Structure 1
């Protein structure tokens, strides 16, 4: 068959073309014309109208070259504009639709459509026009290529009949037959007589329905007598007339089609329907494993799939020409062949040897299929090793299990057909369970359970509880910012970084305000606050906020001030309540007393921090100064001595008392006696006059923190006389 697609808008130039097939490289004469003797003319367009731009032409011939030729006269140029040319054929020795038939011609090839040999004569053991029917002669000798008859009538074992074409398993041989119409002497019974003769010539061995009337439908049936188990149906149609076979149907039914064709066929089992597009082979061997009593051959016109450009094909009349129909039942277990004369080959068994055993170590019993040595090959299981592995099993005897997520696995190798393992499984065959502390698809996820392993599928810990630094249902989520420890329930308060989610130690040292400790998770206590709790608040009535240092209940202790009560007040600016205590601490170092003649001076270096100090007013004493390294005069001694005063603005009175001659107007002297109220405000003036006797006693609060008591230390001694003393201006 040759298909041609010409230029769509210029089919006029296609008019009058010729199509040749040749084995010559050049068919042209010197004048440019074609030498038709050198090629086979497949087609010549001689129509009066314009040809279609799509052409399909049958050309049943062998050749190497396809030639498209055209000619013009009256000085008109011949032009060819081919868009596509397709040449369909079969390799040498094959024919029919999809080249599915094989011809065994003695010499040469055969027609690619019909299979008819180019030169009559078949290879030994074959018969028919296409040499595609096998002879069944004893000893394998040649049979008559027209009738199939064997020399001396000696048929091969298991075969009988005039053409040695009747087998023991043929259920249709000699059974009752019917057909829709009959032409001449070619009745329906000729399809089951076991005779293969010269096609149609009298007396003929083929059936023939009426070709003359208009019969859009035709049918033929054979009655097997009882319901039989059918395996195969073989059909030999009239050779060279397979165009009438085109579009046929083959049914098996339990009812005769003669009663009501449409009702019967609607319930019958359809074994086969020819659907083209080429012509069917005149020899058909069709599998139809079904039980039934009637075998029905049916055809209609026009066919569902009509052949194109086939000579003699008629669209209006259906004709049936069957030369032989064989309905083959089952052979006994262990046997096969048309006459059940062949033993099953290796690794096959059962009726017709249609089953296969897959024994690993031996062959199987031809009848039962049981392995002679137990054990199946990969992918198979069962007593006969004929059951394929299913439902995620694989390997020898299907003893292994694959856990593929998206498909089953290869029964032999176990590899998933669609990649991907189920949760909890890993490996090439998805048969390896997740190892310790892994889970999910391909075991790619990790659980961090503290007390057990986790479920390989879900990742949930078998015993609840996560390792340090992990949290979540599967213990696979690392602790988030500023959390650490088991299940991430602890919080670190690092100032400059996150902390180690396992230990809680800050990656960069330093805690936030209000926190201290190795993991910055201990809140400040006991009047401490700030970063690392390194600051102290002196709240009078409560603790302070660990972060800001602000007292929870307002009010600072005596001697402290500020927003966080952490700023010490200097003694000169404090509000002293001199009833019992003053807010003073003096750390005193007494140096040396220097005397020259009757003049002596004593220098005292004084260091102080504000603390509680007790004053004993029974022994008057001057408080002269509270700055560092201030010389203090000896104001009195038991003997009369020359004394030196250190007045800021004048000399002293020179009468034995240390008293400045003048005092600034801005300063008011304050006299304190035994009876004086110590609650006076001393913050405006540094001049203090004390009247009375005794010692000034200083107690040091610092010693109480060390758990011991320090004795009172006298500053100056004044004897027993009552004197008035004063201090210089500050």
Structure 2
């Protein structure tokens, strides 16, 4: 985040005011944001002190009236207000807990457009003297840097806030209750919420101090922040981006992209591996490179500029310029993510004093004064108008390729028709994909493929595996051949009702008698276990033959007369042979009787 001091040096950056004051000029942005904290304290009664308590009120210091609190003793802890859009924060009023006031000692107040740990997070205030306990009700004035998030941060303690008000204006508004829009000439509608003056300058007068040479139009004193080129008519891709200088440590690379020509880097010595690299956030279209050198910079040949898609190398990059020091724009047209400047080899007292590198262009796919407009060109395009040179990407038409295909059309130049089988037309205008799936009987992303055999319904997700040859209607699932179903299913139009357990075969007409687990519903085969008493066979559907009984008919009733016995328990039907008695003819006199009975019982159960 760029500090306001980089914009207007006479503005005081951060003012801390430890007495309470009434703020009437702006609005309380806390009422429009979402409160969050990294942890939440819960007391012994199970009461949670969530982040939202800090913005609900009442405006006092009493813990029992409701204060937010993080869990304690964390290596780092934070409370944050996340705003729905960019705003300028002018003042933060806070009420701290009065019974344990020292817990907020050494707190930090940050403004950010990301998380509290983002590299661009800006410190508004720190209780560096650890005296928060001395002033529990205070107002802290921050600078006017635009932010979307406000954070209270501390280490190894709590963040406990009884009430918070965060005053400021949404970007584009200023004045009493932020009711006045910024002047229309302010770039991107950035103005100070207190007086409405433009922050980034005005368009088309983008020269610093609104001064330029009348004869050439070249800006005097450089450009306003965020603009590039000798005419300050380009969006500056380099401004506030990541920059580094190799060898590390000899100078501050950030000074080359801070937007100020008054802050410079000095190369007092260079080698074959010396360079400065600027990294963009994404692939970008570069049309202009403009250097601002100090007066002492050598005029020798060897100033070289490359465009590359690989960090820290230019071997596979594009050479944009090599020659003497230039004070004018280097006009190019190239797409890359890194721009690398290689200074010339220095001799004697010569040096390179680089004050600013300005890179005019837009992130790929954007155009306009501040690169806010989007186009979908298939190749080069005009960064001002957005007009495409070689046509559009799939799904787009128009000079700027910013018009989506009409309903029902998609693809290259919108010539393709969406499938008639989309469940809820139209399809995706780029790919032709049916956004909400297919009508019954169709599948794949564009719903142009009929269901495979054995499948039907929405996105072909249902099966008709009970139909003969798996043949069924792709929409309803009604079997093609309705005279019968596959074994294992009850006859019907859809053959979608499986046999009940213990039944199998055509129309589930057969019954199996497996000992514990139901048989296969198609062919009736039982698992490796035995059949029930009185049954045998692969499907356990055959009664025991004469003379056998029990599980899987394994026991032979040899002491029954004529081997005639009950197939379930083995009870003899016609009496016993000589020497035996009892229902199962297993009883004999004496010890022999006992042994025979034991043998019988073992056969019966095992």
Name the TM-score, length of structure 1 as normaliser. 0.25
**Larger gyration radius, structure 1 or structure 2:** 1
Larger RCO, structure (CA 8 Å, separation 6 or more): 2
